[in-house]
Structure 1
Amino acid sequence: MKVETFPLGPLQTNSYLACAGGLAAAFDVGGDPAPMLDYLRKNSLTLTHILATHLHCDHLYGVAALAGATGAPVWASPADRFLMDTELGGGGLMGLPLVAPFTFTDASPGEAVLAGRTCRILTTPGHSPGGLSFYFPDDGVVFVGDLLFSRSVGRTDFPGGDSDVLLASVKERIFTLPGDTAVYPGHGPATTVAEERRHNPFFSEFA
């Protein structure tokens, strides 16, 4: 699997294309998806799914446009659906723009096939109630949104956030993955499970 990163939107959200065998899946489309569409066209890739790790507006600004351009279905957690009726999900928070409306299918935890690859959809709440992570065991890759960052974790002061729940999600769902698993967060550089177990200051017990 090849992962391409596109920092998009007003908060430069990491928007990803996970590509394999002529297929691709998009994660957290945070702004104008033109660069992603250009990449799909140039590489003759078919987009199979658009996934949201959580329904905060900075991860959603390009979802409607990408879905409209490709016809790919959007998946997200039903536990975050309420956020779309707030400024946090629908936009307007702190002067941020509004999110163009889109519809999505409820993503269920468990095994799925995305971009032709086996994916385990993990429930990882804490940053938001419906936070999801998408783990590709055969490729050693996990997309975690704003759950975990390089040497940091996601904020929990937004509605539905919970610091204890977030820390438990990381420990129980992410740190139990193989150490060489590449971790792709919603902002900032990629990291690995082993690096964060050893060096993330929020988890000193793993050092």
Structure 2
Amino acid sequence: MEAAKPQLIRETFPVGPLQCNCTIIGDSLSKKAIVIDPGGNPELIMARLEAHGLIVVSIIHTHAHLDHFLASGQMKELTGATLHLHKEDQFLWDSLEMQCRMFGVPYTPVPAPDQWLSDDQALDCGCGVALHTPGHTPGSMSFWFPQDKLLIAGDTLFKRGIGRTDLWGGDYSTIERSIKQRLYCLDEDATVVTGHGADTRLGDEMRDNPFVRA
């Protein structure tokens, strides 16, 4: 008899003062979960994990702008999970206090990342892979779950938009290349979870995105 394939548990909801989309990804069989971009409201994130019966094994980040990891330190303290980031965004991680001051957001210290993410790295939940998609920041990552046709794009790709490139380390030609070469080669039917705002469909962005088309 063929073993049952685990069903992916996915819930996305806005958190924090800048309403970053936080995503919980869980394995329905092992009950292991990853939390992507905990940008605030750790109590809400913990409540949703508990509702799904999930245990966090890692906290991963699409990039290191303040709105995507304001609650990372608190989540690590509450769960013991490891923190993950691409090394090229370390300079942003190290400047969290400055970022918070610039945007008028209360500063909560965050410990150093435990592990560096790399391109094509398998994620701890066993069902996804990390993609290095620089441009919004040098270390921007996207996370691809092929079995479920799900793409977590962070601030790289939005519904009819792309990430801004006028902040620290941003570069338009680089984000354009990342979208065309790393994202637009994925399944057109994939659901794209963006860093802020509504989900979109990858094929729709390939055809209709006014900034970068396939």
* Structure 1 residue aligned with 2:86: 77
Matched, 1:106 2:116: yes
* Structure 2 residue aligned with 1:18: 25
- CA gap 1:88/1:65 in 2 versus in 1, 3 angstroms: closer
After superposing the two structures, state which structure 1 stretch, 42-51 or 121-130, moved more. Answer: 42-51
* Structure 1 residue aligned with 2:64: 55
> Alignment partner for residue 165 of structure 1, among 164, 174, 188?
174
CA distance in 1 between partners of 2:175 and 2:209 (Å): 14
Q: CA deviation at 1:36?
A: 1.4
CA distance in 2 between partners of 1:11 and 1:111 (Å): 29
After superposing the two structures, state which structure 1 stretch, 84-93 or 133-142, moved more. Answer: 84-93
* Structure 2 residue aligned with 1:143: 152
The count of corresponding residues between Structure 1 and Structure 2 is 204
- CA gap 1:192/1:114 in 2 versus in 1, 3 angstroms: farther
* Structure 1 residue aligned with 2:10: 3
> Alignment partner for residue 65 of structure 1, among 67, 74, 80?
74
Deviation by residue 1:118-170 (Cα, 9 ceiling, x = unmatched): x2211100000011111111221111110010000010000100011011100
Gaps in structure 2 of 5+ consecutive residues: 1-7
Q: CA deviation at 1:100?
A: 2.1
Gaps in structure 1 of 5+ consecutive residues: none
Deviation by residue 1:51-89 (Cα, 9 ceiling, x = unmatched): 100000010111111111111111101100011333587
Q: Does structure 2 retain, via aligned residues, the 8 Å contact 1:122–1:173? A: yes
Q: Does structure 2 retain, via aligned residues, the 8 Å contact 1:182–1:190? A: yes
Which secondary structure state, in structure 2, belongs to the residue aligned with residue 26 of structure 1? strand
- CA gap 1:103/1:73 in 2 versus in 1, 3 angstroms: same
- CA gap 1:18/1:89 in 2 versus in 1, 3 angstroms: farther
Q: What is the identity, as a one-letter code, of the residue corresponding to 2:199?
A: A
Q: Does structure 2 retain, via aligned residues, the 8 Å contact 1:3–1:17? A: yes
Q: What is the identity, as a one-letter code, of the residue corresponding to 1:116?
A: G
Which secondary structure state, in structure 2, belongs to the residue aligned with residue 109 of structure 1? coil
**Percentage of identical aligned residues:** 36
* Structure 2 residue aligned with 1:132: 141
Matched, 1:36 2:45: yes
Report the TM-score when normalising by structure 1. Answer: 0.93
- CA gap 1:55/1:89 in 2 versus in 1, 3 angstroms: farther
After superposing the two structures, state which structure 1 stretch, 7-16 or 133-142, moved more. Answer: 133-142
Which secondary structure state, in structure 2, belongs to the residue aligned with residue 179 of structure 1? coil
CA RMSD of aligned residues (A): 1.6
Q: What is the identity, as a one-letter code, of the residue corresponding to 1:72?
A: A
Q: What is the identity, as a one-letter code, of the residue corresponding to 1:12?
A: Q
- CA gap 1:156/1:58 in 2 versus in 1, 3 angstroms: same
Q: What is the identity, as a one-letter code, of the residue corresponding to 2:211?
A: F
Q: CA deviation at 1:2?
A: 2.6
